[in-house]
């Protein structure tokens, strides 16, 4: 029995979960969890996007994301509510085939993740003339990549959202909040309130399931560090990517960026619990032999930031949405 089948069995007969859908998400911590979203929250979110971009029955919505993730499901729901045609991109992701498919289908609106945009730009593929909007979410969207995509005719718009919010919270340059969402900053992190929020977060612990609702008076405090100015968001990174090593705070995102630049390849950093140090840093990298300078670079880092173990991988594992699969990397670390 799969974990999803186990979850479905567990929620059966629980009245609080009638009229809900469950979306699996790992976040940055690697903990296996599901977000319970009500049909009402999902519909409200979809309608807010329809209203923001004036999506009507003449549109062709191109689906290139998996439907079992909230981003892909949102595309399907928006098409249904707007009376628009839904076109599904079948098979494995391929940037060239996707660009041709968009042209053939006359796609006017699509949703992508930054990895997919990168592939389109890397191959210098021209955006279809029919396309009026490509919403990009699911991860940090580099400003330079955004401009390169636009120069090629891909009408990309950055967005911010998460599974817990049923989809987008803010979309467009400068990330203006969508209508109906409230935001504030608490201890440097973003807190959100709106009708698209989740009902509960379900985690699998010690072989069983536990349901929690961490909202306080309707507000959900995220783990995203952010700034809020005149209804616009600036996302600064994840607070839950900070760990303590030898009693000092270490930002794993910053360390990844350092080693990505030094090694000139894709890397991923995980922190494994350690009895003496608190956490032990393990760096995975793509490719073969490390440069000779690695030892010197590592020795020059402050003690808490030094990498304990370097592990090569043919390819850094990623989820269906192109995010680094940190849950799988933690399993590798424990081997």
Q: What is the pLDDT confidence band of residue 335, given thresholds at 50, 70 and 90?
A: low
- What is the dihedral sign for C-alpha 1, 198, 191, 172? positive
Q: What are the tens digits of pLDDT across the range 111-134? A: 998 889 999 999 999 999 999 999
pLDDT at 79: 98
Give the H/E segment covering residue 113: none
Tell me the chain's radius of gyration from C-alpha atoms: 21
Q: What is the pLDDT confidence band of residue 28, given thresholds at 50, 70 and 90?
A: very low
Q: Which residues, other chains included, contact 73 with Cβ-Cβ below 8 Å and sequence gap of 6+?
A: 21, 23, 42, 67
Domains annotated for the chain, with CATH where assigned, are 3-239 (3.40.50.12780), 246-334 (3.30.300.30)
For residue 102, the Cα-to-chain-centroid distance in whole angstroms is 23
Q: Please, which contacts does 139-142 make with residues 24 or more away whose CB atoms are closer than 8 Å?
A: 139/113, 139/114, 139/115, 139/321, 139/322, 139/323, 140/114, 140/235, 141/114, 141/117, 142/114
Cβ contact 61:108 at 8 Å? yes
332: buried, middle or exposed (CB in 10 Å: 19+, 13-18, 0-12)? middle
Q: Which residues, other chains included, contact 225 with Cβ-Cβ below 8 Å and sequence gap of 6+?
A: 188, 189, 190, 235, 236, 237, 238, 239
Q: What are the tens digits of pLDDT across the range 29-47? A: 455 789 999 999 999 999 9
Q: What is the pTM of this model?
A: 0.81
Q: What is the pLDDT confidence band of residue 279, given thresholds at 50, 70 and 90?
A: confident
CA distance 239 to 237: 7
Q: What are the tens digits of pLDDT across the range 214-223? A: 999 999 999 8
């Amino acid at each position: 029995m799969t974990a999803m089948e186990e979850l479905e069995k567990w929620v059966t007969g629980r009245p609080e979960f009638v009229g809900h859908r469950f979306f699996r998400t790992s976040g940055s911590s690697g903990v296996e969890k599901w977000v319970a979203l009500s049909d009402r929250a999902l519909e409200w979110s979809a309608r807010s996007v329809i209203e923001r971009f004036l999506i009507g029955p003449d549109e062709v919505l191109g689906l290139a994301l998996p439907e079992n993730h909230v981003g892909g499901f949102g595309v399907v729901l928006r098409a249904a509510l707007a009376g628009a045609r839904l076109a599904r991109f079948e098979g494995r992701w391929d940037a060239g085939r996707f660009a041709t498919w968009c042209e053939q289908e006359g796609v006017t609106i699509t949703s992508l993740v930054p990895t997919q945009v990168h592939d389109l730009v890397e191959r210098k593929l021209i955006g279809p003339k029919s396309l009026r909007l490509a919403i990009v979410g699911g991860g940090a969207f580099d400003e330079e990549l955004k401009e390169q995509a636009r120069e090629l005719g891909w009408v990309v718009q950055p967005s911010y959202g998460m599974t817990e919010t049923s989809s987008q919270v803010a979309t467009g340059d400068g990330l203006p909040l969508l209508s109906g969402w409230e935001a504030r900053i608490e201890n440097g992190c973003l807190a959100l309130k709106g009708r698209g929020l989740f009902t509960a977060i379900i985690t699998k612990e010690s072989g069983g399931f536990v349901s929690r609702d961490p909202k306080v008076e309707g507000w959900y405090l995220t783990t995203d560090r952010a700034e809020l100015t005149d209804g616009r968001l600036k996302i600064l990174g994840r607070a839950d990517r900070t760990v303590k090593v030898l009693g000092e705070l270490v930002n794993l995102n910053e360390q990844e960026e350092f080693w990505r630049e030094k090694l000139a390849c894709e890397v991923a950093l995980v922190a494994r619990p350690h009895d003496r140090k608190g956490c032990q840093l393990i760096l995975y990298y793509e490719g073969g032999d490390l440069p000779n300078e690695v030892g010197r670079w590592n020795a020059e880092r402050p003690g808490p930031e030094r990498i304990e173990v370097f592990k090569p991988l043919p390819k850094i594992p990623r989820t269906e949405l192109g995010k680094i699969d940190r849950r799988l990397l933690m399993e590798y670390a424990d081997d």
